Amino acid sequence: MEYIMIIITAIFVNNILLSQFLGICPFIGVSNKISTSLGMSGAIMFVMTIATISTWLIYNYLLVPFGIEFMQTISFILVIAALVQMVEIILKKTSPALYQALGVYLPLITTNCAILGVALLVIQKDYDLIRSVVFSVSTSAGYALALIIFAGIREQFELAEIPQGLKGVPIALITAGILAMAFMGFAGLA
């Protein structure tokens, strides 16, 4: 039952994008098309899960035994940067079209505060490794859900008559705010 609560809470109630406002840059930048949003979601899911596992292991088996917990932020950032470089190399080899579509936003995963935030939240919540993995997969699924829904809405903007002053980022921010309020409706679930 605890795992189900972690999943529901991470995806809907405390959505990392719409409730905690972490990872907004790729959210606004890559959400013009569903296809690029799917690619970015997959990359973030992979990096977030592997980063959480790696950082949990580093924290519990390296930093805590040596009493250097204060090094967690620096070590976590280095691990995340290395993982993103690995994802970038893999995407460049396996899917050049997706690599081109993601453009500058793929390296931005390195500085995506959602990934670092999840790694730090897992330590803060004192989760064991299995709960950490469930939390990171659920959080990345919530990120993907919000990103894909937002991309679907933004694709519809092509067909809508939007006033000139609101085109582009302004209407995207207004829509993100309304989407965040919609997700607040899930607050009663947990």
**pLDDT band of 72, cuts 50, 70, 90:** very high
Q: Does residue 36 register a pLDDT over 90?
A: no
Q: For the CA atoms of 18, 19, 23, 25, what is the dihedral angle to 10 degrees?
A: 50
Q: Does residue 188 register a pLDDT over 80?
A: no
Q: Does residue 47 register a pLDDT over 90?
A: no
For residue 140, what pLDDT is reported?
A: 95
Specify whether the CB–CB gap between 45 and 144 falls below 8 A: yes
Residue boundaries of the structural domains of the chain? 17-189
Q: What is the pTM of this model?
A: 0.87
What is the average per-residue pLDDT within 99-110? 73
Q: Does residue 164 register a pLDDT over 80?
A: yes
For residue 190, what pLDDT is reported?
A: 61
**Burial (0-12, 13-18, 19+ Cβ within 10 Å), 118:** buried
